[in-house]
A = this chain, B = another copy of it.
Amino acid sequence: MRALARAITLVERRDPSIRDLEEAVRNDTRSDTNPVGVTGFTGAPGTGKSTLVDAVVTLLRTREQSVAVLATDPNSPFTGGAILGDRIRMQRHALDPKVFIRSMGARGHLGGLSLASREAIRLLGAFGFDQVVVETVGVGQSELEVAAVADTTVVVLTPNLGDSVQMIKAGILEIADVFVVNKADIDGHGRVVAELRTMLNMAPKASWKPPIIPTVATRQEGVEQLWEAILAHRSHLERTGKAKELSERRLRDETVEVAAELARERTRRALREDPALTERLLKEGTPYRTAEEILRTRTDN
C-alpha cells in the first residue's frame, strides 16, 4: 500500500521515474489477462456523489472485490474542504487493506488530471485491484476528464437541484453511460426522471441507452441495481468490441498527452537555461517560432 501511494505521488509530480514504473507495469502480465474495471462518478456538488461512491465500495467489499477510489480535484484552494470532507466520509473503509483511497489534484495545468489518473489507474491494475472508482470533486471540466479515463461514466443528479438543464449544457448527456437520480426519497424525484427520459429520447439513437437508476445512497438503496447497470454496460462494451477500441484509443491519446507534457518540460527548461532565447522571445513576441526552434534543436528529455 505504501509503495502504491508513493508510486502515485511520482505520477502526480510528473517525476521522470514514471518511465521506470511504466516498464515495471509492462512486465506485469496480469493487466493483460484481467484488466481493472474503471467506473467514473460525476455530478454537481451536493448530489451525494461521495456517499454514493462510499455505498458502492461497501457493496463491492461484500462481493470480495478490492477497490481503489481516486477523488480527482481541479485543485482550487477553495475545494480543500470538500476533499477533506470526502476523506472523512470514507474513513469507514480506512482500515480495510482491500480499499485504497486517494485524492489527486490537477496541479495547475489543463489536461494534467486525466494524464495523471490514467497512469495511476494502470498502476492500480498492476497492484492487483479489481475495481477503480474515479470521482470528481468540485465543478467544471473535470467531468470530461473522468469520462476520458472511465469505462463506464455514472452521472449523478438529484431532485432538489434544478441542474438537469445545466448538465445538458455542459454536454453531460454525451458522456453518461448510467444516470443515477440520488436522494430518490425526496420530492421532485419523478419529475427529474421524466425530464431525463425525455432528453434521452431526443438524443440520437445509439447501441447503448443509458439506464436511469434511483438511489438513496445514505441508506444503501438502489446500489445493487446501480452496480448491475454498470456491469451491464461493461458487458455491452466487451460484446460490441468497444472495450478493445476504447483501450487502444486511450493508449494513443495518452501517448499524445505524454508527448505534450515532455515538450512543455523541455520548453520550460530551454527558456530557463537559455537567456538569449528568452530575450529574443520577449523582444520579438514570436512564441510559435521559439517553440518550433526548441523542439527542433533540443532533443534531450
Contact = CB atoms under 8 A, between A and B. Distances in A.
A285 B110 contact: no
A287 B295 CA distance: 19
Interface in A99-147: 109-111, 119, 122, 138-142, 144-145
A295 B259 contact: yes
This chain: how many copies in the complex?
A: 2
Contacts of A19: 288-289, 292
Nearest to A148: B110
A28 to B, nearest CB: 10
Interface stretch (A50-58, A211-219, A260-268): A260-268
B285 A169 contact: no
Given A170-B138, A262-B263, A287 B251 contact: yes
Nearest to A45: B169
Nearest to A166: B139
A288 B22 contact: yes
A231 interface: no
A142, A168, A290, A296, most chain B CB atoms within 10 A: A290
Contacts of A32: 285
A120 to B, nearest CB: 13
A236 interface: no
A262 B289 contact: no
A208 interface: no
B263 A259 contact: yes
B255 A290 contact: yes
Contacts of A257: 264
Among A109, A263, A264, find the residue whose CB has the most chain B CB atoms closer than 10 A: A263
Interface string A57-76: 00000000000000000101
Interface string A229-257: 00000000000000000001001101111
B169 A287 contact: no
A296 B295 contact: no
A76 B169 contact: yes
A158 B77 CA distance: 24
Given A109-B111, A278-B252, A288 B258 contact: yes
